[in-house]
Amino acid sequence: VQLVESGGGLVQAGGSLRLSCVASRSIFIMGWYRQAPGKQRELVASITSGNTNYADSVKGRFTISIDNAKNTVYLQMNSLKPEDTAVYYCNAFFGTHYWGQGTQVTVSS
């Protein structure tokens, strides 16, 4: 399974970004993780069978969605904060975990 992410960048606090991740095949369980410098990788959001799960720190600000026809999962990030700065990784679980290459999100204050 190959995962290709896009959509990261530099944004001011309060701004928005949308991340996209295209999978090489349909996946039942997909999600987004992030890793800030000096910190462990953490789950941001996941989606399976239409059910979503979010980290407390992003609830109400981030929305994960999936387009099954395009094998693409999205992460809409609104009201971004400097503490959201991290490398964001797309994740797919299909017997084992698969990871994208990561995309940098930087939120300036």
pLDDT tens-digit readout, 72-105: 999 999 999 999 999 999 999 989 999 999 999 9
Given a cut of 90, is residue 50 above it in pLDDT?
Answer: no
Q: Count H helices, E strands: the chain?
A: 0, 11
Report pLDDT for 58: 98
Q: Taking residues 21-42, what's their average pLDDT?
A: 94
Residue 16's pLDDT band, with cuts at 50, 70 and 90, is very high
CB-based contact 7:105 (threshold 8 Å): no
